[in-house]
């Protein structure tokens, strides 16, 4: 449920410490996930202010490992490598 503009808290030292703790506990969360976690902790922070704070502090979500994409079709789909001429 959205809050009126006046009910958002500013990021003071106590809130900043909680944001850093949550980021260390859940490194894959971006600013949307951290905002939800803060709301569950009864801390309602303006989303733009949280995004700005995370950028200034260098708090970035950890990326999941993903394999490199393959280029072209696998050789078994196109019949394997061409045969040498005889």
pLDDT in tens, the chain (86 residues): 455 555 566 888 998 999 999 999 988 888 889 999 999 988 888 889 999 999 998 989 888 766 666 666 666 667 766 677 77
Counting beta carbons within 10 angstroms of the beta carbon of residue 30, is it exposed (0 to 12), middle (13 to 18) or buried (19 or more)?
A: middle
Contacts of 54 (CB under 8 A, 6+ apart): 19, 23, 31, 34, 60
Burial-class residue 72 by CB neighbours within 10 Å (0-12, 13-18, 19+).
exposed
Considering only CA atoms, give the Rg of the chain: 23
**What residues does each domain of the chain span?**
5-57
């Amino acid at each position: 449920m959205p809050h009126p503009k006046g009910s958002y808290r500013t990021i003071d030292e106590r809130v900043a410490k909680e944001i850093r703790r949550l980021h260390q506990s859940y490194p894959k969360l971006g600013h949307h996930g951290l905002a939800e976690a803060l709301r569950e902790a009864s801390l309602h922070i303006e989303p733009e202010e949280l995004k700005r704070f995370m950028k200034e502090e260098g708090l970035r979500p950890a990326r999941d490992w993903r394999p490199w994409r393959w280029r072209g079709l696998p050789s078994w789909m196109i019949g394997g490598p061409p045969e040498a001429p005889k």
